[in-house]
Amino acid sequence: PPLDLIGAWRLTSYVKADTQVRYRPEDYMLFSRSHWTHLAYFNRDPRDRDFAEAHHGTYRITGPDTLILEADMELHMDPKMEFQKTPVWYGPAATIRSKYRVEGSTVVMDFASGAQVVIERIE
């Protein structure tokens, strides 16, 4: 059956592309028929040293195991500057290509960059 992303998802695992370090963030992805939003919180202790990011855009499933996320907005906030050189970073619009596979109640997305996310449906 075709992939149905519509609804709310919890991101249960995130692998950072350049370091291949796996994180367990507080993270959510929301999908409508055509748009997606991603909100993430990492490294919550201590709270003032948190990391957060948000993305928004459109998406389309392009094949039985491929999808494209178009990001028209990207924002990263990292006061400790572990992941970036400035406390706040606004990314340019981007096309994010992904392979995906469904594993029970989860969807694993392997991005061309080397990053990986695992999401689990919550609604």
In this prediction, residue 84 carries a pLDDT of 86
Range 74-95 average pLDDT? 89
Residue 1 predicted with pLDDT over 90: no
Q: Which band of pLDDT confidence, cut at 50, 70 and 90, is reported for residue 78?
A: confident
What is the predicted pLDDT for the residue at 51? 82
pLDDT value of position 48: 65
Tell me, letter by letter, the H, E, C secondary structure of the chain. CCCCCCEEEEEEEEECCCCCCEECCEEEEEECCCEEEEEEEECCCCHHHCEEEEEEEEEEECCCCEEEEEEEEEEEECCCCCCCCCCEEEECCEEEEEEEEEECCEEEEEECCCCEEEEEECC
- How large is the average pLDDT for residues 39-56? 78
Q: What is the pTM of this model?
A: 0.85
For the chain, give the mean pLDDT.
Answer: 90
